[in-house]
Amino acid sequence: MARPRRLNRAGLKRLGRRCLVAAIVLAAMPVALTFLYLPPFVHPVSTLMLKDLVTFSGYDRRWVSIDDVAPVLMHSVIMSEDGQFCFHRGVDLGELRGVVDDALAGEATRGASTITMQTVKNLFLWSRPLGSVRKVVELPLAVYFDAVMSKRRIMEIYLNIAEWGPGIYGIEAAAQHHFGVSALQLSRRQAALLAVSLPNPIARNPARPGPGLRRLANLIERRAGRSGAYVGCLE
């Protein structure tokens, strides 16, 4: 039985060049797509939405302009997900330092993802596995995305690709599915419930909240009511 031939040095070089070209192409795609996503008439889709299409699962997403989203919903999302959204440049360095300090001390780490980081993850990256590798890519992408995009456009894209339940993407589909109203008609309470369901939209149902989710919604509803300068970049 003939033994398989080993790659010679020239073959290894060709393989290395091909891998390098593939890596450059993959790295360049988010850079190019970011510019493609700048105009408001472009409606990006997330990698999860693409997965649902490929697997024939289907999904419900109805793109809506940021002008047709209740301001209280945006305020609630900022106060729940990323209180420094209007002030950082894609990455909240204070939160990130806290996570690194906790990790070095051997303590359980908390989340430090900003809305911008979540947006680039949803647009360009994967969820699991290799989450730590993804973070290394996610950080510079978030800084770049924030430098190119306005805060309003980042929020508009995020709200239209965020998952709010199995096969439910974007705030318009979420508002219709969970509460039977448009995104513009959401009440303060409904907005708070939708915001606090974002970290785990499969397990957290804003239309049927448990005691813990209701307590979180109470807190976010109060914070959104006095958000002031924290949401100034969306005005």
pLDDT one-digit tens code per residue, 124-155 = 987 664 456 667 788 999 999 999 999 999 99
Is residue 84 predicted with pLDDT exceeding 50? Answer: yes
Residue 38: count of CB within 10 angstroms of its CB:
11
Give the confidence band of 12 by pLDDT, cuts at 50, 70, 90. Answer: low
Choose among 118, 120, 102: nearest CA to 110.
102
pTM equals 0.85
Q: Under a CB-based contact definition with an 8 Å cutoff, are residues 42 and 191 in contact?
A: no
Confidence grade of residue 115 (pLDDT, cut at 50, 70, 90) = very high
Instruction: Report the percentage of the chain scoring pLDDT > 70.
Output: 77
Q: State residue 102's pLDDT score.
A: 45
What's the confidence (pLDDT) of residue 21?
54
| Predicted local confidence at residue 22, as pLDDT | 52
Is the pLDDT assigned to residue 2 strictly greater than 80? Answer: no
**Average model confidence (pLDDT) across the chain:** 85
Task: Indicate whether 108 pLDDT > 50.
Answer: no
Mean per-residue pLDDT for 72-95? 92
Q: pLDDT at position 126, please?
A: 73
DSSP letters for the chain: -PPPPPP-HHHHHHHHHHHHHHHHHHHHHHHHHHHHT-STT-----HHHHHHHHTT---EE----GGGS-HHHHHHHHHHH-TTTTTSSSS-HHHHHHHHHHHHTTPPPPP---HHHHHHHHHHS--SS-HHHHHHHHHHHHHHHHHHS-HHHHHHHHHHH-B-STTEESHHHHHHHHHSS-GGG--HHHHHHHHHHTTSTTT--TTS--HHHHHHHHHHHHHHHT-GGGGGGG-
Taking the C-alpha atoms of residue 132 and residue 232, their distance in angstroms, rounded to an integer, is 32
Nearest-angstrom CA–CA distance, 170 and 175: 9
| Radius of gyration of the chain from its Cα atoms, rounded to whole angstroms | 20
164: pLDDT strictly greater than 70 = yes
pLDDT of residue 98: 54
The predicted pLDDT at position 101 comes to: 47
Half-sphere exposure of residue 65: CA atoms within 13 angstroms, side-chain side: 5
- Confidence at residue 58, expressed as pLDDT on a 0 to 100 scale: 87
**Is the predicted pLDDT of residue 6 greater than 70, yes or no?**
no
pLDDT of residue 136: 79
